[in-house]
A = this chain, B = another copy of it.
Amino acid sequence: MKIGIADTTFSRVNMGKIAIDELRKISSIPYERYTVPGIKDLPIAAKKLLEEKGCDLVITLGWVGGTQKDMLSYIVLSMGLVMVQLMTNKHVIDVTIHEDEAEDEKTLMMVAENRVREHVRNAVDLLVNPKRLQKLAGTGQRQGYPDVGPILK
């Protein structure tokens, strides 16, 4: 079993390093890292990790600027990652930070770190402990910000 980690030089936070740190904390699953320039390069990076490097699941770590053009790249990234998954029958966990989702850089970095760590745990669960996710079904989990929780009757 192996997990792929794809990240970018565009990102302003070393998300790949955080992902590896979290993966080492919670499991001994081997990993392979692949760094590309920007988010539009992530779909092919994920596919190569799955098909050429023997990974069973990939975590992509994307950083999106705040302009309309960046948002278009994000759509392309997202559609591309769905295609990769459908072509390989394997999960790709898309961890994206939008540069405009926090007020200041300190908060943004904190959100990025939390989101990466929480999604690494999701990824490991998908591979080795899918029952944990089923127990959390419908409970309003969020990654990066606090969970919102379920709607109570």
Contacts and interface: CB of A to CB of B under 8 A. Distances in A.
B13 A138 contact: yes
Contacts of A98: 69
B109 A153 contact: yes
B83 A14 contact: no
Nearest to A104: B151
A141 B81 CA distance: 23
Q: How many copies of this chain?
A: 5
A87 B89 contact: no
Interface residues of A, number: 70
A83 to B, nearest CB: 6
A94 B105 CA distance: 28
Q: Which 8 A-B pairs have the closest CB atoms?
A: A14-B138, A44-B85, A80-B82, A9-B141, A9-B136, A12-B140, A35-B134, A76-B78
Interface of A: 7-17, 33-37, 40-41, 43-44, 47-48, 51-52, 69, 71-76, 78-87, 89-94, 98, 105, 108-109, 119, 122, 126, 130, 133-134, 136-143, 148-151, 153
Given A9-B122, A16-B137, 9 more contacts: A7-B137, A8-B137, A11-B137, A15-B137, A37-B143, A44-B85, A71-B72, A72-B78, A79-B82
